[in-house]
Amino acid sequence: MFYQTEVNFMSKNYIGKSLVVLAALLFVLSSIAPAMAETFEWNTKQRPAQLINKTDSGVYQIANVRWGFQKSDDYSNLQPFWRNATIDVNKISDVLFIVKPFEPEWIAAHCLLIFKFSEPIVSDQNEKADGFVLSIEARLLKGQKYSLVQGNFGKFFIVYQLGTEADYLQYSAIEKKRLIPYKLKLTHEQKVALLKNTIEESIKSRDGEKYNTINNSCTNNLFILLNTVLPKEQKFREWILKKVIYNVGISFPRTAGKMLKKHKLVEEELPIMTPGAPEAKLASLAGEFNTAMSKGTAVNELSGDALVIANKNALSISVKADKIKAAFVDAINEGTITKEMIKNTMYDEDAEQLMGLFVPGVNPSEEEKTGFVVGAEFNEKLAAINDNATLAAYMGELFDSYKAAAAKRLALEGPDVSKYLDSNLNALYKGLDKSVKYLKLNNR
């Protein structure tokens, strides 16, 4: 008895000391975390905004607003002008949702907001700007490059970058990127609230917060911001299954315009802007843009060793697609997945598109010719099916059509989409697995 009491006392004493040590360690780590953050050597083109002052009437003074770049031929070492800016949210006139495609354009793009004003915003050096930009970006270390894939694995921090419209036009001219603008259909009160919420989100401390291509990116965060000012019937759905399946429709820049239109938020689709010479002077920069569209490239079939590699990749895609098709058919026959679960796993209702089995075309405008796109007909077909045998047969036909389209696309010249297709199939399989487990758990 004495021995047992002594052991219990020693155990409690040991646990108590351990907790004290753990608490001390956590305190030390929390104390040095800010210092550790300061040791990072950041990319010079990005800087978090800071609040200087704000009034009850909605006038903000913000530090670290980017106001253009010093002229330089060295793109990797651009030196921005940083300003303190005074912004009266009540003077807002329009909001533009911008999609800026980058390679590969059939999947990748950056999205941002441009706020236009009836009266210019003013810098601390008495410079004036008619437009204000929010660009949510992966915050890069010096020498670090953005990667669409690595963005899914916590490789980057995040920054809500604020700047002027002229600043971003200059940056896009240097990058030689097109801008696809949508003028949003919002009331004046919604525009004021959206700008205010944008500034409030931008001045929050995001030390240690990581960028994620799907659920913490340039695109989905803009839709979440829009949700803060939209009525319930216009809001964008963030989760298909809460904390299980994210709605990639609000993460997918390629479908951003379609989603905005579906939610009746596009007042006007403005002409595409193409940058002119990067050496254009900032004062006349807006005049260096035009509405010319880039022409698509000719589509030719591969040959020789390139075709052999493409056929090998197509076979790998076909085998994986067959595996997933069989898994869907088995789940249907076993009753471990429903039509509704299939729709939630594969179809984005907001974007009106089947996401997992999408095959991009050689050019963004040639999806129907050289790719594979399934839209609202998938949802309509599912709704009309009333038995498991027909449902299983339809899923088989769908996957077979996808395999044929993927094999045809991989045999064509153009961007190699094999890794993208493979990644999509992996994501679809995981979605199926989660859906089956979710249904089993809720049927217990």
Q: Does residue 293 lie within any of the structural domains?
A: no
Q: Does residue 321 lie within any of the structural domains?
A: yes
Give the total number of structural domains in the chain: 3
Q: Residue 38: pLDDT above 60?
A: no
241 touches 337 (CB < 8 A): no
Q: What is the pTM of this model?
A: 0.69
SS in 3 state form for the chain? CHHHHHHHHHHHHHHHHHHHHHHHHHHHHHHHHHHHHHCCCECCCCCCCEEEEECCCCEEEEEEEEEEECCCCCHHHCCEEEEEEEEEHHHEEEEEEEEEECCCCCCCEEEEEEEEEEEEEEECCCCEEEEEEEEEEEECECCCCCCCCHHHCCCCEEEEEEEEHHHHHHHHHHHCCCEEEEEECCCHHHHHHHHHHHHHHHCCCCCCCECECCCECCCHHHHHHHHCCCCHHHCCCCEEECCCEECHHHCCHHHHHHHHHHCCCEEEECCCEECCCCCCCHHHHHHHCECCCCCCCCCCECCHHHHHHHHHHHHHHHHHHHHHHHHHHHHHHHCCCCHHHHHHHHEECCCCEECCCCECCCCHHHHHHHCECCCHHHHHHHHHCCCHHHHHHHHHHHHHHHHHHHHHHHCECCCCCHHHHHHHHHHHHHHHHHHHHHHHHHCC
Q: Does residue 173 lie within any of the structural domains?
A: yes
Residues 202 and 322 in one domain: no
Residues 221 and 343 in one domain: no
Q: Does residue 297 lie within any of the structural domains?
A: no
List pLDDT tens digits, range 63-91: 999 999 987 666 667 789 999 999 999 99
Residues 26 and 88 in one domain: no
Amino acid letter for position 77: N
Residues 134 and 14 in one domain: no
Last residue of a domain, one of 288, 317, 335: 288
Q: Does residue 299 lie within any of the structural domains?
A: no
Residues 65 and 184 in one domain: yes
Q: Does residue 343 lie within any of the structural domains?
A: yes
pLDDT above 70: percentage of residues in the chain: 82
Closest residue by Cα to residue 99 from 107, 87, 90? 107
Residues 108 and 237 in one domain: yes
133 touches 113 (CB < 8 A): yes
Q: Does residue 23 lie within any of the structural domains?
A: yes
Residues 255 and 360 in one domain: no
Residue 118's domain comprises 50-288
Residues 56 and 128 in one domain: yes
Of 45-49, 311-315, 347-351, the range with the lowest mean pLDDT is 347-351
Residues 276 and 319 in one domain: no
List pLDDT tens digits, range 294-345: 344 567 899 999 999 999 999 999 999 999 999 999 999 988 888 988 998 8
Q: Does residue 227 lie within any of the structural domains?
A: yes
Q: What is the pLDDT of residue 442?
A: 64
Closest residue by Cα to residue 285 from 84, 64, 69, 47? 69
CA distance 114 to 97: 7
pLDDT band at residue 443 under the 50/70/90 scheme = low
CA distance 80 to 45: 6
Q: What is the pLDDT of residue 292?
A: 35
pLDDT band at residue 14 under the 50/70/90 scheme = very low
Last residue of a domain, one of 244, 262, 288: 288
Residues 144 and 6 in one domain: no
Residues 78 and 153 in one domain: yes
Residues 310 and 427 in one domain: yes
Q: Residue 10: pLDDT above 90?
A: no
Which long-range contacts does 301-308 make (Cβ < 8 Å, 24+ apart)? 301/411, 301/412, 301/413, 302/411, 302/412, 302/413, 307/411
